[in-house]
Amino acid sequence: MERSTQGYTRCLKQESAQCVTWIGQPETRFTFDHVACETINQETLFRMVGLPMVENCLSGYNSSIFAYGQTGSGKTHTMLGEIEELEIRPSPNRGMTPRIFEFLFARIRAEEESRRDER
């Protein structure tokens, strides 16, 4: 088993963008719509998961993101990110929620302008 720099042993192995394997006895494989590794940045995650979700919503479908993990594993950071100075300037480390709302409201604004121009 691989040992991290903090001395912990990994219990999961990411096989693909959809599959992780629990390294135990017996090894167990789990499949998801998407699995993000621990090194992914907020922008990349938003482009892979958030954008398609918002597009689905704008097309009339329901969408959700489910952040799951143990305490301290980064769920809040993934969903909110660094939001302290969000009103002043967007942080490159802002999470999914602010990015989704930014994109959603930008699309609504663009749609309103497009309809106004048609009249």
Domain residue limits, the chain: 1-35, 39-118
Which residue has better confidence, 85 or 51? 51
Looking at residue 98, what is its pLDDT?
93
- pLDDT above 70 (res 2): no
Which residue has better confidence, 66 or 7? 66
DSSP, collapsed to helix, strand or coil, labels residue 47 as helix
Strand (E) or helix (H) holding 53: helix 51-58
Strand (E) or helix (H) holding 19: strand 19-22
Neighbours of 78 (CB within 10 A): 19
Residue 70 is labelled as binding a ligand: yes
Residue 13 is labelled as binding a ligand: no
Looking at residue 1, what is its pLDDT?
45
Residue 71 is labelled as binding a ligand: yes
Residue 73 is labelled as binding a ligand: yes
Looking at residue 4, what is its pLDDT?
54
